[in-house]
Amino acid sequence: MSSIFQSLDDALSAIIDGCMVVVPREVSGVPMAATRALIKRGVKRLHLVALPTSSLQADLLIGAGCIETLETSAVSLGEFGPAPRFSAAILSGTIKMKDATCPALHTALQAAEKGVPFMPLRGLIGSDILKHRSDWKVIDSPFGNDDPIVLLPAIKPDVALIHAAMADRFGNVWIGRQRELATMAHASNKTIATVERIYDGNLLDDPVLAAGTLPGFYVDSVAVAERGAWPLGLPDYYSADADHLAEYAKMAATPEGFAQYLDKYVYDKRAA
């Protein structure tokens, strides 16, 4: 069996222009090294599904012109303020926004995980989110008192892109408590993982590690990317780099500052 490990660029080759990519929320291990590699390569017209929210990752991809459609419940830099490129893109109408609410995205991916065309969810009725989502339907529940309930169509991404602590040579990836990464992989056609390091052995052989492992069966390629979530944190591993995020918030406030940020931190022009 040839190794599942590839170079970062090779591992990302399935993410082609125009494809639908699902990524995890800002605290679940965001593949930031992979995100920078995609921007460097110049990927275009992505349909990004951020499950269920995003911070730096969506803002960077939007600012760099990689996103055509964004489907998420919120984009924010948290304590570092609003996400400036996201806000600018919405105000200027340069991306198509599909506003959602967090559990709606989880539910739509669970529908894909189960192979059903839709799943119901409570809430949403009377919200303007629903009003702007013609792809969501309301039916009267056939159980109970005919109360209305929303049905959400399954989201089946082309690629799930994740970052995690470790993977073994069988492609098994240890995801720990970030179980939404498993749902993302189950729902998606392909899964690409970056990891901090290689685990020497088979993660499924140890009952304790196996409990937190996404099986290699679902994983198409893996690349080692040390501190690959930087400047965001990786649960159970390292915290976010607050100084860097503050710097980003400041620089990305203007298009010029954002371009400088890309030059400095993405396009490897540090030495210039």
Q: What residues from 113 to 142 belong to the interface with another protein (CB under 8 A)?
A: 113-116, 121-130, 132
| Among residues 15, 23, 35, 110, the one that binds another protein under rule CB under 8 A | 110
The residues with which 213 forms a beta bridge, in sequence order, are 174
Q: Residue 20 phi/psi, 5° resolution? A: -95, 120
Closer to another protein at the Cβ: 198 or 266?
A: 198
Q: Read out DSSP for 82-146? A: B-HHHHHHHHHT-SEEEE--HHHHHHHHHHHHHT-SEEEESS-TT-HHHHT-TT-EEEE-TTTT-
| Strand duo 148-153 + 137-140: pairing | antiparallel
Footprint (CB under 8 A) of a second copy, residues 166-185:
175-177
Nearest to 162 by CA among 196, 194, 186: 194
Footprint (CB under 8 A) of another protein, residues 251-270:
none
Cβ-Cβ contacts under 8 Å for 155 (sequence gap 6 or more): 20, 22, 49, 71, 105, 108, 109, 111, 112, 187
Closer to a second copy at the Cβ: 235 or 257?
A: 235
Cβ-Cβ contacts under 8 Å for 114 (sequence gap 6 or more): none
| Among residues 199, 230, 248, 261, the one that binds another protein under rule CB under 8 A | 199
Instruction: Tell me: does residue 79 bind another protein (CB under 8 A).
Output: yes
Footprint (CB under 8 A) of another protein, residues 212-231:
212-218
For residues 240, 242, 247, 249, the Cα torsion angle rounded to the nearest 10 degrees is 80
Q: Near a second copy by CB under 8 A, which window of 34-42, 90-98, 111-119, 194-202?
A: 111-119
Is-contact 118 138, C-beta < 8 A?
Answer: no
Closer to a second copy at the Cβ: 62 or 166?
A: 166
Q: How far is the CB of 50 from another protein (least distance, A)?
A: 10
Crossing angle of helices 56-63/84-92, nearest 10°?
Answer: 50
Q: Near a second copy by CB under 8 A, which window of 26-34, 135-143, 223-231, 245-253?
A: 135-143
Closer to another protein at the Cβ: 44 or 177?
A: 177
Footprint (CB under 8 A) of a second copy, residues 196-255:
207-212, 235-236
| Among residues 198, 204, 246, 259, the one that binds another protein under rule CB under 8 A | 204
| Among residues 96, 122, 131, 132, the one that binds a second copy under rule CB under 8 A | 122
Binding positions for a second copy, rule: CB under 8 A? 107, 110, 114-122, 137, 139, 141-144, 149, 151, 153, 175-177, 207-212, 235-236
